[in-house]
Chains A and B, each alone.
Chain A
Amino acid sequence: MSRVCRPMASPRVAPPAGNGRIAARFAALGAQGRRGFIPYVTAGYPTLYHTRALLAGLADAGADVIELGIPFSDPMADGPTIQRSSQGALDRGTTVSDVLEVLAELRDASDVPVVIFSYLNPIHSRGVENFIREAVDAGADGILPTDLPLGADPALEAALEACPLDLVRLIAPTTDPVRAAEIARASQGFVYYIARTGVTGAGAELRAELAREAGAVCAVSPVPVAVGFGVSTAEHARAVGAAADAAVVGSALVDRLDEGGVAGALELARELRAALDEVA
């Protein structure tokens, strides 16, 4: 079985502006009939040393794209786990420059696609043009701003769409179908479907409607569909893999990092990778 989400017949309004590394990775997965694994890492938590080890380890453990999170003081879309990791990273003095530096170091060893996950203000504060240049130089492939919904800031969105980074967009369960299709068409690299109406955080169960909802996004999306928020276990990963192109796992990895260190987090990563490979 190839991609769950087949490309739409109609062409995109604009061609993808990214460097193509994310698209290439999804194309390779599609050719193999495999689902993508997208782990999230809060940069600098608990220390930058851990982040370096985690990034390198995740690339080896079969991550297809890594979401590298810039810690922010006021993460309003995040639940307790990512709040804690973000605050922990900031308490250690983690800066945006540090985040870009660990990314550049990863690039010496791996070409795994990396999407920078950030709230808008650290990017805005640096100057969007500056940030884009530095992120591209560091080897980033995409950017995922959590608080920049479609249409919120046309000039800024145009700048991000035109830059060499893929602008990854989010669709929520509350998004109506017409808007969801617009968001999918505007998203570059892949589109992120939020698995539940809520904030980030590990959960016990995925909602019963998730497969149908993800399927509806797949049906209209010209780019692969990744599903995240509450995806915590191998069982969840299998369920997501059956319904979409990739699974995003964040809080569960951070929790495991707290409990079992980098080795523990990587163990969970390998379990999730294996679970996704059971879907075919």
Chain B
Amino acid sequence: MTRPAPHTGRFGPFGGRYVPETLIPALDQLAAAYIEASRDPAFLAEVDRLASEYVGRPTPLYRARRFEAEAGVAPVYLKREDLNHTGAHKINNTVGQALLALRMGKPRIIAETGAGQHGVATATACALFDLECVVYMGTEDVERQSLNVYRMELLGAEVRPVASGTRTLKDATNEALRDWVINVGNTHYIIGSVVGPHPFPMIVRDFQAVIGREARRQILEAEGRLPASVVACVGGGSNAMGMFHAFAGDEEVALIGVEAAGEGLGSGRSSASLTEGRPGVLHGSLSYLLQDADGQVAPAHSVAAGLDYPGVGPEHSHLKETGRARYVSVGDGAAERAFRSLPGLEGIIPALETAHALAWVAEAGRRGELEAPVAICLSGRGDKDAVHVAGLPADG
């Protein structure tokens, strides 16, 4: 897979560093610290130690036989990132970046969060390393993810509600970037997905790549072969990038990213940036973006707060343009049905975000369009969504 040039951070034409001048020195410092750390055996050993002792890695690759029967495709494996400490893949990145912050001598951490999973994972890493933590969260998300707000506060983080714009992840990201511009001297911004200015898309991808490395080894052990299809949901795209990265050189493995179609493609109420957007600049990088004809960012919508974002990581844009990965979409209703279906089949409550990937596999499997073996990144657990989904009409 493309290794971005250290100073430009491009994946093909995508990525870059479109930020206010004020942040340039901090991005340079971060890129240098990361390159140095990634060559330091002691740093890498510390990341590995925390992954096994604290996060709970490796996570299992579980064969979901009753789901297979429903989906009409087998074998299907679930990479159980929901079993990580804090219940999602997000902590793979936050522990790594918190270690980088310590290395750079920055005592204060900020983060943005949509579903709250990244906020909880950041608050957790900050508690572990005794770092001050401020998490920005759109007021709409504060409402639909109230459990995670409480968890963050319990972990010692300050949650700052953001009432500007669409009051979701996009606006929380704007506010986190502003905080960083103001407090860049003592603050590290732990961005939660493979988005933002270089070097964030590369750093987050690298810390999440453990997902695919483990999954690749595990499926080789279980099946004696590589999967034919690797599937993950895509909002900003960090669990997908983490899952895809190890398979990128395996041309026989189809990489499939599932975006949120919200209320339907063409409805103006989706989060499917790669499917419905066009290249643009948001939050420091050039990537596919939902925007109007005048270049104003269009509001995104998804029932899954973690996918409710009008942009997407620049490496996904590159994988789309080169054809290495394929991007499809699933709407709110199908995701909600998958959310309700998996618990009874497998005893696993998936996050609403993850449910998009499950829904697509079930649909494509039933249509006979999906080649097995299939590996799905089960990116997070759905406890946080239970109250919200319980309040929706039963037929989704």
Chain A residues packing against B (C-beta within 8 Å): 72-79, 83, 87, 90, 95-96, 119-126, 146-153, 169-176, 179, 183, 194, 197-199
16 further contact pairs, Cβ within 8 A, besides A121-B280, A147-B281: A72-B296, A74-B282, A75-B174, A78-B178, A87-B165, A96-B295, A120-B18, A120-B281, A121-B296, A124-B286, A125-B294, A125-B295, A172-B22, A175-B22, A194-B22, A199-B181
Please report whether the interface of chain A is mostly helix, strand, loop or mixed according to DSSP.
loop
* B residues near A176, Cβ cutoff 8 Å: 25
A76 contacts B185, CB within 8 Å?
no
Kindly provide the distance from the CB of A198 to the nearest chain B CB, expressed in whole angstroms: 4
Determine whether the beta carbon of B17 is less than 8 Å from that of A198: no
CB distance from A134 to the nearest CB of B (A): 13
Give the distance in Å from the alpha carbon of A87 to the alpha carbon of B296 in the complex.
11
Can you list, as one digit per residue, whether each of B264-280 has a CB less than 8 Å from chain A (1) or not (0)? 00000000000000011
**B294 contacts A76, C-beta separation under 8 Å:** no
Min CB distance A239 to B, Å, is 21
Supply 20 A–B pairs (Cβ within 8 Å), ascending by A: A74-B165, A74-B171, A74-B297, A76-B177, A76-B283, A77-B22, A77-B181, A121-B280, A121-B295, A122-B294, A124-B281, A124-B286, A147-B20, A147-B281, A147-B284, A149-B20, A175-B25, A197-B181, A198-B22, A198-B182
Q: Chain B residues with Cβ under 8 A from A147's Cβ?
A: 18-20, 281, 284
A74-B282, A122-B294, A123-B295 as given contacts; A174 in contact with B174, CB under 8 Å:
no
Residue of A nearest to B280 (CB): A121
Query: B294: which A residues are within 8 A, CB to CB?
Result: 95-96, 122, 125-126
Most buried by B among A96, A120, A147: A147
Chain A residues within 8 Å of B20, by CB? 76-77, 146-147, 149, 170, 172
B1 part of interface (Cβ distance < 8 Å)? no
**How far does the alpha carbon of A78 sit from the alpha carbon of B182 in the complex, in Å?**
11
Collect the chain A residues with CB atoms within 8 Å of residue B184's CB.
174, 197
State the Cβ distance, B292 to closest chain A Cβ, in Å: 8
Cα–Cα, bound, A108→B294 (Å): 26
Which A residues touch B24, using CB under 8 A? 149, 172, 174-175, 179
Which chain B residues have a beta carbon within 8 Å of chain A's beta carbons?
7, 16-26, 164-165, 170-171, 174, 177-178, 181-182, 184-185, 279-284, 286, 289, 291, 293-297
- Shortest C-beta distance, A83 to chain B (Å), equals 6
Give the CA-CA distance A126 to B184 in the complex, in Å.
Answer: 32
Bound form: Cα–Cα A152–B7 in Å: 9
With contacts A73-B165, A74-B165 known, is A149 near B19, CB below 8 A? yes
Q: How far is the CA of A197 from the CA of B295 in the complex (A)?
A: 28
Distance A90 CA – B178 CA, assembled complex (angstroms): 20
Cβ B283 vs Cβ A175 within 8 A? no
Enumerate chain A residues within 8 angstroms of B295, measured Cβ to Cβ. 72, 96, 121-126
B312 to chain A, nearest CB (A): 15
**A246 CB, nearest partner CB in chain B, Å:** 18
- Establish whether residues B22 and A174, one from each chain, have CB atoms under 8 Å apart when the complex forms: yes
Closest to A146 in B: B20
- For A79, the chain B residues whose CB sits under 8 A away are 178
Contact B165–A194 (Cβ < 8 Å)? no
Contacting residue for A197 out of B19, B182, B296, CB 8 A: B182
Taking a contact as CB atoms under 8 Å apart, the answer to whether B174 and A74 are in contact is: yes
Least Cβ distance of B206 to chain A in Å?
22
Chain B residues with CB below 8 A from A150, complex form? 21
Question: Is A76 a contact of B178 with CB atoms below 8 Å?
Answer: yes
Q: A73-B165, A74-B282, A90-B296 are in contact. Are A198 and B181 (CB under 8 A)?
A: yes
Chain A residues lying within 8 Å of B164, measured Cβ to Cβ, are: 83, 87
Contact partner, A125, options B23, B25, B280, Cβ 8 Å: B280
Chain B residue with minimal CB distance to A145?
B18
Determine how close the nearest CB of chain B comes to the CB of A220; give it in whole angstroms: 16
A183 to B282, CA, bound (A): 23
- A171–B164 Cα gap in the complex (Å)? 28
Does A121 contact B25, Cβ atoms closer than 8 Å? Answer: no
- The answer for the CA separation of A77 and B286 in the assembled complex, in Å, is 17
Rounded to whole angstroms, the CA-CA distance of A121 and B182 in the bound complex is 23
Selected contact of A153 from candidates B16, B289, B291, B293, CB within 8 Å: B16
Asked whether, in the complex, the Cβ of B18 is within 8 Å of the Cβ of A197, the reply is no
Closest to B182 in A: A198
On chain B, the residues within 8 Å of A78 by CB distance are: 178
The 7 A-B residue pairs with the shortest CB-CB distance, nearest first, are A125-B295, A122-B295, A172-B22, A77-B20, A198-B182, A73-B296, A172-B21
Residue among A95, A153, A170, A194 with the highest chain B CB neighbour number at 10 A = A153
Chain B residue contacts of A152, Cβ below 8 A: 16-19
**Chain B contacts of A124 at CB under 8 A?**
279-281, 286, 295
How near does chain B come to A209, taking the closest CB pair, in angstroms? 13
Report the bound CA distance from A96 to B171 in whole Å.
22
Would you give the shortest CB distance from A228 to chain B, in whole angstroms?
13
> In whole angstroms, what is the CA distance A198 to B182 when docked?
4
Q: Are A170 and B21 within 8 A (Cβ)?
A: yes
The minimal Cβ–Cβ distance linking B179 to chain A, given in whole angstroms, is: 9
